[in-house]
Amino acid sequence: MKTPTHPERTETRSTPAAKVSIRIGKRTTFDASVTTAGLLSVGALVSGILLSSAVIVAAAGRKAPRRPLALPDHTKTEG
C-alpha cells in the first residue's frame, strides 16, 4: 500500500509568524523570528509553568497540622 504524501504539510514556511529586532546603543542589535509552531509551543510552555506554579503556591499556603517527626530522647524508656 502506498503512503499518501501531503506536500502542503511537509513544506516549511520561509516567512516567520513574528519578528522582533532590539537595538541597544549604536552597535548592538538582536534579531529574532518565530514560526507559528514556535509561538504555539512557547504558549504551551508558559501556560504549563503558570499552572504548576499556582499549584505550588496554593499547596504552600495551606496550614497543615504539625506533628513531631520523632519522640524526644527523654521520653524513650530503656528496657
pLDDT value of position 55: 87
Q: CA torsion sign, 45 to 50 to 53 to 59?
A: negative
Question: What is the pLDDT, as a whole number, of residue 10?
Answer: 63
In a domain? residue 76: no
Mean pLDDT of the 16-38 span: 90
Number of domains in the chain: 1
More confident residue, 41 or 75: 41
Is there a domain that residue 25 lies in? yes
For residue 50, tell me if it sits in a domain.
yes
The Cα 18–Cα 27 span in angstroms is 23
Model pLDDT for residues 9-21, shown as the tens digit of each residue: 666 656 778 888 9
**Cut 0.75: pTM above it:** no
Q: Which domain holds residue 31?
A: 16-56
| pLDDT greater than 80 at residue 46 | yes
